[in-house]
């Protein structure tokens, strides 16, 4: 591999460099540091291991529809970071039910009733939107929605 000499312009001044002729734009350094010839493309080549052959799915994807797993398409419990990839992770905020209520499968009054909640029960809130809190009941770890009006934050 041959070496090409040329000039890069850094802050309006030419800087001498030497790069391998075959160095494509992705492997060229963004800038050169004076006095550090070891920081060149030859000294630190960028390489990417790309799998060869045909890729295939080997098992169905885990859709996380388990009733006790606090994962949605957009949000998951912080304890699941590293196991499930979602855009956001939330730290649970413990709340107490003011009165008996219902844990629902959807954040709406006609959502499927998952189970009854008792007054004083702790519900870990992960998200609040539209008057509904999504989270997990501490007693049995069941995930669902509770009306925000039924909850009060624990001190």
pLDDT for 1? 41
pTM here is 0.59
16 neighbors 9 (Cβ within 8 angstroms): no
Structure confidence by residue, pLDDT tens digits, 105-144: 999 999 999 999 999 999 999 999 999 999 999 999 999 9
Q: The tokens of 144 are what? A: 């669902």
- pLDDT value for 110: 95
Checking if the pLDDT of 48 tops 80, the result is no
**Closest CA relative to residue 144, chosen from 135, 155, 152:** 135
Can you give the pLDDT at residue 82?
85
Instruction: Answer yes or no: is pLDDT of 38 > 50.
Output: no
Q: What is the mean pLDDT of residues 50-66?
A: 62
Q: State whether residue 6 is helix, strand or coil.
A: strand
């Amino acid at each position: 591999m041959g070496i090409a000499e040329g000039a890069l312009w850094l802050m309006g001044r030419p800087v001498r460099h030497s790069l391998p002729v075959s160095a494509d734009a992705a492997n060229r350094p963004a800038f050169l540091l004076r006095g550090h010839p070891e920081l060149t493309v030859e000294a630190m080549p960028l390489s990417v291991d790309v799998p060869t052959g045909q890729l295939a799915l080997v098992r169905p994807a885990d859709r996380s529809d388990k009733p006790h797993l606090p994962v949605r398409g957009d949000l998951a419990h912080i304890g699941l970071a590293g196991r499930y990839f979602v855009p956001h992770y939330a730290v649970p905020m413990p709340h107490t039910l003011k009165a008996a209520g219902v844990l629902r499968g959807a954040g709406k009054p006609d959502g499927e009733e998952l189970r009854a909640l008792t007054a004083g029960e702790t519900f870990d809130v992960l998200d609040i939107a539209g008057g509904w809190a999504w989270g997990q009941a501490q007693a049995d770890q069941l995930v669902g929605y509770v009306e925000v009006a039924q909850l009060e934050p624990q001190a």
